[in-house]
């Protein structure tokens, strides 16, 4: 047991005397940056998955509504109106969802950049609100 303690102390003393000891503050900064990036990426991924799930649920509901409208159609004009409305709503829904996901990505980039450089990129994140 005494040999283990002595070899452990020797190991740590040799580390502290090496050039690695001077890199410790930079390693700490890097570890904090990696932690921030991982946390931010996980939150954005979760929010994007929620956005995609919400979009898909809404589009499935619209699919079922379209089927009912097609079954109830009395003329070719009714079919055209139902399909045109469906396609228009789908384009609008997908566009809005993509805009919200892009906004999330821009906000994440601002958080990561701020963590890495200290630059405050809230203006970039604010401009992302125009997209959504």
SS (H, E, C) the chain: CHHHHHHHHHHHHHHHHCHHHHHHHHHHHHHHHHHHHHHHHHHHHHHHHHHHHHHHHHHHHHHHHHHHHHHHCCCHHHHHHHHHHHHHHHHHHHHHHHHHHHHHHHHHHHHHHHHHHCCCCHHHHHHHHHHC
Tens of pLDDT, residue by residue over 106-116, are: 887 777 777 66
Residue 97: the pLDDT is 93
Give the whole-number percent of the chain exceeding pLDDT 90.
38
* pTM (predicted TM-score): 0.61
Domain ranges in the chain are 34-130
């Amino acid at each position: 047991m005494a040999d283990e303690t002595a070899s452990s102390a020797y190991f740590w003393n040799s580390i502290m005397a090496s050039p690695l000891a001077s890199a410790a503050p930079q390693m700490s900064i890097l570890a904090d940056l990696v932690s921030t990036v991982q946390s931010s990426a996980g939150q954005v991924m979760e929010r994007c998955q929620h956005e995609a799930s919400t979009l898909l649920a809404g589009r499935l509901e619209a699919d079922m509504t379209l089927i009912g409208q097609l079954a109830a159609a009395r003329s070719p004009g009714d079919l055209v109106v139902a399909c045109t409305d469906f396609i228009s709503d789908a384009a609008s829904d997908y566009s809005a969802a993509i805009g919200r996901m892009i906004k999330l990505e821009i906000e994440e980039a601002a958080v990561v950049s701020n963590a890495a450089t200290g630059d405050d990129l809230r203006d970039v994140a604010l401009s992302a609100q125009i997209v959504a």
